[in-house]
Amino acid sequence: MEFSANLGFLWTDRSLPDAIRAAHAAGFAAVECHWPYETPATEVAAVLVETGLPMLGLNTRRGNVTAGENGLSALPGRETEARRAIEEAVDYARAIGARKIHVMAGFARGPEAHRCFVGNLRLACEIANRYGLTILIEPLNHFDAPGYFLTTTDQSVTIIDEVAAPNLKLMFDCYHVQVMEGDLTRRLRNLLPLIGHIQFASVPDRGPPDRGEVAYDHIFETIADLGYAEPLGAEYKPGGDTDASLGWLRKWARNAAQSRFGDVDDRSKDG
């Protein structure tokens, strides 16, 4: 099992290039981000080459952040802005070698918002498909993002089915899904064919995964047993110094190493 550092929450006291370097030094296998657009793509691409880390994905812009917006693609009447945000994300992703783009829905509700979101996702998938990119949608819980259009995996499946594009996938954030729906193990098993990326954080405080109500050792093992081999996104709030929050990562690395060496020892005894 490998992990990706979400730099929207981790090492936020550093520039994006320095946060990538910190993730590499900490032992992450990949990185991902939220809104990297203030950093020139050439700088990000250079540090990705320097560290050898892939950038897994990024988000479309939120819109007017001062006004509290959190995405544009489900907002009727904002289709032109939504398309610009999608095109910008595709261009940036291509420049840094990222393969996945989370298209943010925004605060909206009702049938018109649904139709708007589906239309913008079809456009996003068409544009992304030209370059072999995957579009992601992510349900957010209504405690952290009250009024957000997309809130459950069932709603996400309905939209994915309606858009009917092979490069549209579900971002399965264990934190959001646990808050809204629970039953993580079964949902992971049932939704695996639609999942394009998995993220995690503790519940209910959205901190590191070694505390709270979710047994992430079990969840990580379940994901591995299902054959999902992509790095899992550590999208949690460290509550202070990021490096001080990484005990879970070091523990998992030790356990994985012991498991590998144990297998070798067992085979040598059999011989």
Specify the CATH number for the domain of residue 12.
3.20.20.150
Residues 98-118 as b/e (b if ≥16 CB within 10 A, e otherwise) read bbbbbbbbbbbeeeebbebbb
Domain-embedded: residue 180: yes
What string of DSSP letters covers 209-230? TTSSSS-HHHHHHHHHHTT--S
Closest CA to 184 of 212, 158, 153, 208: 153
- The length of the chain in residues reads 271
Which structural domain range is residue 15 located in? 3-242
Number of structural domains the chain divides into = 1
Domain-embedded: residue 254: no
Catalytic entry in 138, 162, 181, 213: 138
69 catalytic residue (yes or no): no
- The CA distance from 132 to 145, in Å, is 30
235 catalytic residue (yes or no): yes
- Print pLDDT tens along the chain (271 aa): 899 999 999 999 999 999 999 999 999 999 999 999 999 999 999 999 999 999 999 999 999 999 999 999 999 999 999 999 999 999 999 999 999 999 999 999 999 999 999 999 999 999 999 999 999 999 999 999 999 999 999 999 999 999 999 999 999 999 999 999 999 999 999 999 999 999 999 999 999 999 999 999 999 999 999 999 999 999 999 999 999 999 999 998 887 766 655 654 555 445 4
- For Cα atoms 179, 180, 184, give the angle at the middle one, nearest 5 degrees: 75
Catalytic entry in 50, 69, 112, 235: 235
Q: What is the pTM of this model?
A: 0.94
Side chain identity at 27, as an amino acid letter?
G
88 sits in which H/E element: helix 79-96
Domain-embedded: residue 64: yes
User: Angle of helix 79-96 relative to helix 41-51, nearest 10 degrees?
Assistant: 40
Domain-embedded: residue 256: no
Domain-embedded: residue 119: yes
Provide the token pair at 6.
Answer: 């979400």
